[in-house]
């Protein structure tokens, strides 16, 4: 049923789309929004209903690492994962676990048609939590239609008693006196969340809000009038504004836009200053009697009558405009077009709905089966579908709300006012055609030929090294000033001097406003007819994605599309110029990583390689260096060496890796006493390795040298932009800048901002001083969107098919100065003790025993200074710092860890560390009585991520396949014993890749023993076994060699 469907568990979906998107998808699935789901490997497709609309996501799941999404929503159209796609994934996983198949599985019953749309997602209230009709006094109820119950908002989660307090403010236009008679009052709606005002669009979908009865009614009316979630700008008629004010009666929440700090004063539940512009409430017009000689028709139509109706729908004779007694002049161009249509038998406006209408009529199904619209720019006449069509009542309610009046004589809804007509067409024309298959008569089309929806024109062109992008509302011959005046005046149309009318769809205007804010980085920017801005190469993809939210066509320069295509889809990346022998060492995902880095470098962009620990970020970075080396040989790359800046403890590891995988590179380790002196010396090397501390000291030397590429390893050293390491790194001048880190964000989005100030300076939108709260959150979300294309992260789960069953990795740990001083003190004391014993004439057995005792203390000093000095501090331990990074990354990735140590004191310190952070864990040492029960509990309970185990007590005989990560805190130098400990997790029953980390302190006895491990395994076993002190296999000279600096 689900053959080939990858793992879609919670952790996998978090890696795929993030926590917030997962929660949104879970909410949708829980509320029954998934109406259909089909699996045709590798594509998962279906239908998800939200807010009365059906969305149809299609997710290509050939690999979670390269999953692609296409959906009819805005996010899905740009290729991003959306909540509708994640809802499908959650539903698929739930059905698989329950043994149920997709809707297209053999024998599956078709998905039932919902008689009504599911409840709006996220609405957390219950029938008991809301009183009937909100239990409000009658004078406060807002009910323009008799018998209608006060509406309630369904587009957000809310209750009366619980949640974040939320108020609604209404800001009225200063031209209310002019806009009210036209029933075109553009109001600004502001949500006040914990005393912080913000646009309605920024209310969080997953948040629970607390509303009072008045605010709930007001938001309910707004939702009804907006036919869904209301935007921050909404055009209202007088009757609607009166209803809204009745709902908010007495609240100091009504203002003029130009006086946002001065609430209007209520008197007796009314606002006299506003009421005088709204006039008296309109009463329903009495039904007009049928015209003489044309009695109302009942029963089926005769064949003659049906033919007349068909002819009238097809030809639609001209209807005089109001105030005109004759037909309008013919437009010669339109007349030629109509004549051509008659000769060819084709209408100049293709309308599938009209063809359907004619087919139904000819099939004898009777008139009135579809929505028919007639009229001109001065009036509208609308006939609804028959009453057996469920859309009939929905449309009738909408038309009444827009000011239409039903005339019983002909059963049509009429609107007679040019302003109202144009405003209605601006808002609903396209929607009626798209969503309701409306038939616009030929008469209507002929008489509205000068009406056109205002389109968005997007122009892009080269501007030196950057691009110039212009976004403009195409309003025909109307000037920008005219468009701006129309927007300010609340009009939904603008007229050009030539008589053409451009319709301004409020929904589209809201999209344009949001796009303008994102493009300019100004959250409160008002909508303007035109925006022009300079776009750097780094911003191309971001700007392209933003512009993709609009319906306007884009003609992008070729180099722009080349730049962005590969960032949108890794399949568009070109193979990097790697040496054949090096490429053979890389796994497929690593080849993709090198290609991605090379693509960024070639376009002078920066990026963050954020693969999970153990997936080979170092070798991928070396691949980029080799690409430069290969291109330089052909004269196709910029001059200057590549520079890797890392913590001091990793510089030697970088040197060894470069020597192992890229021996053809000329490598120089700029550290300690071996440092370059002049900028000209840099050109003699292909790769220069240095530490952050050394870079700070020699920053003038590095800034004076010509560099081609700078790679910053372990980016936590630059996550505070004010540190000397961060400022020194930003000072370097190089066309290529990359960062390697497993955790781009540790504390807040500020971490990411600091990194991007190095890799792509000036790219992220500038945050105005003093920005806080929700406004700050807007910039956080915007920066995350901007950053996403320049971060490549793969987890072990995503690339599991390419990985071996077990990954082993050495993690170098650089001692702090305090720990280094303590280590040296113990080492010197050990040498001194051996020397004194030898000088005293003690037996060699006694000297060797004393030396081994001191060696044990030296190893303890490497593990944690507190094991040999009670006054040492937790922050002095290099291994604890390394363990914290591994732990955080494992917790983020959903991994579970076994931690082995031969020192129970070290395990106790780790236990204290975990307890302070409320991290669930288990502990096992030689005194533990219930070992089997503990192991069973760990394997069964996934809420326990860490198991601390004494190597001697738990290194053998245990089955711990619940873990997929092993940390050797103080490695046992006998490889066989260490392998046995790792095999507690890597054994039969394990379904995941097991990663083994060995923590090694640099420039200590641990590092020396590691180097000797393969060459003298037998010597090490004798040295560190329990019986070593009683054997004569280890000479005193061997021990002395380990203790030397």
**pLDDT tens string 494-517:** 888 878 898 988 777 878 888 888
The reported pLDDT for the residue numbered 20 is: 64
- Asked if the structure places residue 399 within a domain, the reply is no
The label of the residue with tokens 């028709």 reads 297
| Neighbouring residues of 479: CB distance < 8 A, sequence distance ≥ 6 | none
Query: How big is the CA angle at 742 (ends 784 and 878), to the nearest 5 degrees?
Result: 130
The label of the residue with tokens 């280094």 reads 820
Q: Strand ranges (DSSP E) for 284-327?
A: none
The reported pLDDT for the residue numbered 195 is: 67
The reported pLDDT for the residue numbered 334 is: 41
Distances (CA, A) of 618 to 644, 671, 739, 793: 10, 19, 11, 14
- Asked if the structure places residue 364 within a domain, the reply is no
With CA atoms as reference, report the closest residue to 737 among 715, 719, 766.
Answer: 715
Q: Which two tokens stand for residue 388?
A: 């057996």
One domain, residues 629 and 755: yes
Alpha-carbon span 360 to 353, nearest angstrom: 10
The mean pLDDT of 313-338, rounded to a whole number, is 37
The reported pLDDT for the residue numbered 141 is: 33
Cβ pair 232, 188 in contact under 8 A: yes
Cβ pair 1042, 854 in contact under 8 A: no
Alpha-carbon span 779 to 202, nearest angstrom: 12
Q: In what order do the strands lie in the sheet with 372-375?
A: 405-407, 412-416, 379-383, 372-375, 439-440
One domain, residues 491 and 551: yes
Tell which of 792, 826, 861 closes a domain.
Answer: 792
- Asked if the structure places residue 236 within a domain, the reply is yes
Cβ pair 307, 361 in contact under 8 A: no
Alpha-carbon span 692 to 647, nearest angstrom: 6
Residue 812 buriedness (CB in 10 A; 0-12 / 13-18 / 19+): buried
The mean pLDDT of 55-84, rounded to a whole number, is 77
One domain, residues 824 and 716: no
Query: How big is the CA angle at 219 (ends 213 and 225), to the nearest 5 degrees?
Result: 140
Tell which of 278, 295, 320 closes a domain.
Answer: 278
Pick from 142-156, 296-310, 760-774: least confident:
296-310
Tell which of 82, 97, 112 closes a domain.
Answer: 97
What SS3 state is found at 809?
Answer: strand
Q: Which residues of 31-57 are buried (b: 16+ CB within 10 A; e: fewer)?
A: bebbbbbbbeeeebbbbbbbbeeebbb
Cβ pair 1007, 820 in contact under 8 A: no
Please say if the pLDDT value at position 332 is more than 70. no
One domain, residues 765 and 814: no
The reported pLDDT for the residue numbered 923 is: 94
Cβ pair 702, 675 in contact under 8 A: no
Cβ pair 665, 684 in contact under 8 A: no
3-state helix, strand, coil in the chain (%, to 5): 45, 15, 40
**CATH code of residue 975:** 3.40.50.300
The label of the residue with tokens 């030689």 reads 926
Please say if the pLDDT value at position 348 is more than 80. no
Where residue 308 falls among pLDDT bands split at 50, 70, 90? Answer: very low
Distances (CA, A) of 928 to 621, 717, 897: 45, 40, 19
42 cis-preceded (ω within 30 degrees of 0): yes
Structural domain total, the chain: 5
- Percent of the chain with pLDDT strictly greater than 70: 78
- Other CB atoms within a 10 A radius of the CB of residue 114 amount to 11
Phi and psi of 455, rounded to 5°? Answer: -100, 165
The reported pLDDT for the residue numbered 144 is: 40
- Helices 1036-1043 and 1017-1024 pack at an angle, to 10 degrees, of 90
The reported pLDDT for the residue numbered 553 is: 61
- Other CB atoms within a 10 A radius of the CB of residue 265 amount to 10
Please say if the pLDDT value at position 113 is more than 70. no
One domain, residues 526 and 624: no
- Asked if the structure places residue 299 within a domain, the reply is no
- Helices 648-661 and 617-633 pack at an angle, to 10 degrees, of 60
What SS3 state is found at 557?
Answer: coil
The reported pLDDT for the residue numbered 1032 is: 40
Alpha-carbon span 792 to 65, nearest angstrom: 10
Q: What's the alpha-carbon Rg for the chain, to the nearest Å?
A: 36
With CA atoms as reference, report the closest residue to 520 among 548, 537, 541, 539.
Answer: 539
Alpha-carbon span 226 to 452, nearest angstrom: 22
One domain, residues 551 and 668: no
Please give the residue range of the domain that contains residue 585.
569-792
Please say if the pLDDT value at position 555 is more than 80. no
What pLDDT digit, counting tens, does each position of 280-289 carry?
A: 654 433 433 3
Give, rounded to a whole angstrom, the gap between the first and last alpha carbons of the chain: 64
Q: Mean pLDDT across the chain, nearest whole number? A: 78
- Asked if the structure places residue 750 within a domain, the reply is yes
DSSP-derived letter for residue 329 is P
Q: Which helix (H) or strand (E) holds 644?
A: strand 642-646
Sign of the alpha-carbon dihedral angle for 864, 865, 869, 873: negative
Please say if the pLDDT value at position 357 is more than 60. no
Please say if the pLDDT value at position 679 is more than 80. yes
The mean pLDDT of 337-352, rounded to a whole number, is 38
One domain, residues 930 and 1037: yes
**CATH code of residue 703:** 3.40.50.10810
Using left for φ > 0, alpha for ψ between -120 and 50, and beta otherwise, residue 628 falls in alpha
One domain, residues 704 and 631: yes
The mean pLDDT of 698-702, rounded to a whole number, is 94
Q: Are strands 736-740 and 606-609 parallel, antiparallel or unpaired?
A: parallel
One domain, residues 767 and 624: yes
The reported pLDDT for the residue numbered 51 is: 62
What pLDDT digit, counting tens, does each position of 232-265 carry?
A: 888 888 889 999 998 898 888 999 888 888 888 8
The label of the residue with tokens 């998808």 reads 25
What pLDDT digit, counting tens, does each position of 597-638 carry?
A: 999 998 888 999 988 877 889 999 999 999 999 888 888 777
One domain, residues 778 and 847: no
The reported pLDDT for the residue numbered 121 is: 37
Q: Which two tokens stand for residue 731?
A: 């000072």
Helices (H) and strands (E) in the chain, counts: 37, 36
Alpha-carbon span 419 to 404, nearest angstrom: 13
The secondary structure of 521-552, three-state, reads CCCCCCCCCEEEEEECHHHHHHHHHHHCCCCC
One domain, residues 877 and 1018: yes
Cβ pair 154, 123 in contact under 8 A: yes
- Asked if the structure places residue 470 within a domain, the reply is yes
| Neighbouring residues of 188: CB distance < 8 A, sequence distance ≥ 6 | 170, 171, 232, 233, 257
- Percent of the chain with pLDDT strictly greater than 90: 23
What SS3 state is found at 324?
Answer: coil
The reported pLDDT for the residue numbered 685 is: 94
Flag whether the pTM goes above 0.95.
no
- Asked if the structure places residue 727 within a domain, the reply is yes
Q: Strand ranges (DSSP E) for 150-294?
A: 157-159, 164-172, 185-193, 196-199, 208-210, 233-236, 254-256
Distances (CA, A) of 1039 to 190, 849, 1013, 1030: 76, 11, 14, 15
Alpha-carbon span 513 to 456, nearest angstrom: 12
Please say if the pLDDT value at position 842 is more than 70. yes
- Other CB atoms within a 10 A radius of the CB of residue 1045 amount to 7
Please say if the pLDDT value at position 557 is more than 90. no
Alpha-carbon span 590 to 609, nearest angstrom: 11
- Asked if the structure places residue 886 within a domain, the reply is yes
Q: In what order do the strands lie in the sheet with 791-792?
A: 667-670, 687-691, 642-646, 709-713, 736-740, 606-609, 791-792
One domain, residues 512 and 534: yes
* DSSP string of 371-413, one letter each residue: -EEEE-SSEEEEEPPPTTSTHHHHHHHHHHHTT-EEETTTTEE
Pick from 10-14, 378-382, 1012-1016: least confident:
1012-1016
- Other CB atoms within a 10 A radius of the CB of residue 762 amount to 10
Please say if the pLDDT value at position 328 is more than 60. no
Please say if the pLDDT value at position 119 is more than 50. no
Q: Which two tokens stand for residue 739?
A: 């960062």
Where residue 115 falls among pLDDT bands split at 50, 70, 90? Answer: very low
Alpha-carbon span 708 to 907, nearest angstrom: 46
What pLDDT digit, counting tens, does each position of 855-876 carry?
A: 888 889 999 999 988 777 877 8
Alpha-carbon span 938 to 947, nearest angstrom: 8
Sign of the alpha-carbon dihedral angle for 650, 656, 662, 663: positive
The label of the residue with tokens 């909408």 reads 398
Alpha-carbon span 934 to 287, nearest angstrom: 81
Alpha-carbon span 713 to 758, nearest angstrom: 13
Q: Which helix (H) or strand (E) holds 669?
A: strand 667-670
Q: Which helix (H) or strand (E) holds 887?
A: helix 878-893
- Between 1000 and 175, the more confident residue is 1000
């Amino acid at each position: 049923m689900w053959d080939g469907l990858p793992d879609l568990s919670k952790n996998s979906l978090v890696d795929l789309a993030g926590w917030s998107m997962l929660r949104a998808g879970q909410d949708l699935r829980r509320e029954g929004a998934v109406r259909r789901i089909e699996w045709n490997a590798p594509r998962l497709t279906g239908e998800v209903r939200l807010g009365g609309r059906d969305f149809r996501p299609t997710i290509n799941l050939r690999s979670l690492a390269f999953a692609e999404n296409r959906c009819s929503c805005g996010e899905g159209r740009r290729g991003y994962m959306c909540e509708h796609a994640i809802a499908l994934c959650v539903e698929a996983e739930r059905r698989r676990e329950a043994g149920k198949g997709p809707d297209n599985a053999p024998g599956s019953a078709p998905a039932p048609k919902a008689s009504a749309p599911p409840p709006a997602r996220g609405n957390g209230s219950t029938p008991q939590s809301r009183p009937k009709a909100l239990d409000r006094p009658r004078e406060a109820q807002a009910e323009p239609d008799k018998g209608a119950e006060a509406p309630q908002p369904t587009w957000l989660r809310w209750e009366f008693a619980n949640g974040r307090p939320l108020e609604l403010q209404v800001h009225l236009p200063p031209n209310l006196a002019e806009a009210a008679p036209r029933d075109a009052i553009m109001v600004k709606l502001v949500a006040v969340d914990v005393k912080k005002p913000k646009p309605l669009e920024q209310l969080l979908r997953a948040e629970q809000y607390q509303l009072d009865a008045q605010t709930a009614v007001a938001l309910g009316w707004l939702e009804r009038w907006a036919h869904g979630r209301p935007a921050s700008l909404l055009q209202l008629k007088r009757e609607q504004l009166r209803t809204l004010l009745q709902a908010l009666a007495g609240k100091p929440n009504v203002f003029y836009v130009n006086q946002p700090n001065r609430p209007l004063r209520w008197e007796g539940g009314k606002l006299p200053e506003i009421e005088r512009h709204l006039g008296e409430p309109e009463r329903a017009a009495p039904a007009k009697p049928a015209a003489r000689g044309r009695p109302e028709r009942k029963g089926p139509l005769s064949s003659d009558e049906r033919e007349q109706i068909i002819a009238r729908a097809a030809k639609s004779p001209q209807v005089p405009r109001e105030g005109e007694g004759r037909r309008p002049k013919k437009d010669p161009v339109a007349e030629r077009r109509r004549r051509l249509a008659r000769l060819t038998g084709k209408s100049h406006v293709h309308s599938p709905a009209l063809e359907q209408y004619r087919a139904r009529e000819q099939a004898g199904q009777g008139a009135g089966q579809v929505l028919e619209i007639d009229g001109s720019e001065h009036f509208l006449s609308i006939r609804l579908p028959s009453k057996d069509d469920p859309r009939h009542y929905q449309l009738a309610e909408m038309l009444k709300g827009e000011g239409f009046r039903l005339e019983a004589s002909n059963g049509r809804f009429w609107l007679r006012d040019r302003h109202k007509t144009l405003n209605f067409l601006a808002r609903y024309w396209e929607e009626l055609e798209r969503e309701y298959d409306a038939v616009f008569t030929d008469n209507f089309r002929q008489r509205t030929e000068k009406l056109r929806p205002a389109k968005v024109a997007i122009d892009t062109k080269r501007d030196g090294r950057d691009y110039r992008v212009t976004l403009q509302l195409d309003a025909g011959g109307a000037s920008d000033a005219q468009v701006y005046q129309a927007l300010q005046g609340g009009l939904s149309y603008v007229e050009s001097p030539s008589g053409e009318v451009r319709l301004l769809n409020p929904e589209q205007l809201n999209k344009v406003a949001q796009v303008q804010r994102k493009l300019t980085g100004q959250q409160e920017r008002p909508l303007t007819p035109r925006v022009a801005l300079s776009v750097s190469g780094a911003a191309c993809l971001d700007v392209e994605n933003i512009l993709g939210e609009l319906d306007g066509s884009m003609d992008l320069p070729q180099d722009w599309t080349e730049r962005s295509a590969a960032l949108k889809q890794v399949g568009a990346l070109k193979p990097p110029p790697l040496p054949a022998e090096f490429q053979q060492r890389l796994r497929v995902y690593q080849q993709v990583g090198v290609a991605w880095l090379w693509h960024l470098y070639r376009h002078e962009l920066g990026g963050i390689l954020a693969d999970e620990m153990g997936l080979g970020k170092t070798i991928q970075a070396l691949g980029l260096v080799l690409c430069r080396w290969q291109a330089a040989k052909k004269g196709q790359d910029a001059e200057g060496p590549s520079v890797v800046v890392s913590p001091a403890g990793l510089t030697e590891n970088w040197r060894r890796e470069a020597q192992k995988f890229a021996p053809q590179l000329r490598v120089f380790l700029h550290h300690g006493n071996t440092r370059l002196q002049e900028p000209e010396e840099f050109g003699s090397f292909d790769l220069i390795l240095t530490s952050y501390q050394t870079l700070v000291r020699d920053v003038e030397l590095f800034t004076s040298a010509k560099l081609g590429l700078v790679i910053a390893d372990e980016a936590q050293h630059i996550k505070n932009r004010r540190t000397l390491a961060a400022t020194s790194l930003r000072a370097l001048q190089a066309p290529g800048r990359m960062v390697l880190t497993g955790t781009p964000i540790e504390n807040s989005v500020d971490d990411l901002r600091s990194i991007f100030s190095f890799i792509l300076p000036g790219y992220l939108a500038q945050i105005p001083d003093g920005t806080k709260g929700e406004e700050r959150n807007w910039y956080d979300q915007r920066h995350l969107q901007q950053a996403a294309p320049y971060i490549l992260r793969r987890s072990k789960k995503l690339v599991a098919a390419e990985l071996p069953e077990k990954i082993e990795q050495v993690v170098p740990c650089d001692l702090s100065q305090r720990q280094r001083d303590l280590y040296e003190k113990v080492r010197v004391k050990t040498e001194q003790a051996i020397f004194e014993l030898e000088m005293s004439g003690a037996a060699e057995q006694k000297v060797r025993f004393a030396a081994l005792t001191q060696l044990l203390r030296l190893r303890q000093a490497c593990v944690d200074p507190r094991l040999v000095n009670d006054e040492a501090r937790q922050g002095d331990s290099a291994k604890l710092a390394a363990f914290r990074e591994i732990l955080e990354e494992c917790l983020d990735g959903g991994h579970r860890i076994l931690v082995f140590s031969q020192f129970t004191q070290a395990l106790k310190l780790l236990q204290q560390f975990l307890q302070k952070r409320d991290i669930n864990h288990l502990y096992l040492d030689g005194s533990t009585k219930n070992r089997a029960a503990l192991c069973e509990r760990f394997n069964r309970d996934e809420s326990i991520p860490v198991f601390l185990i004494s190597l001697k007590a738990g290194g053998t005989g245990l089955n711990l396949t619940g873990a997929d990560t092993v940390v050797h805190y103080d490695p046992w130098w006998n490889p066989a014993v260490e392998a046995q400990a790792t095999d507690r997790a890597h054994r039969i029953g394990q379904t995941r890749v097991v990663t083994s980390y060995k923590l090694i302190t640099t420039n200590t006895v641990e590092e020396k023993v590691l180097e000797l491990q393969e060459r003298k395994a037998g010597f090490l076993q004798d040295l560190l076994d329990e019986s070593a002190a009683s054997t004569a296999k280890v000479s005193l000279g061997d021990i002395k060699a380990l203790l030397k600096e």
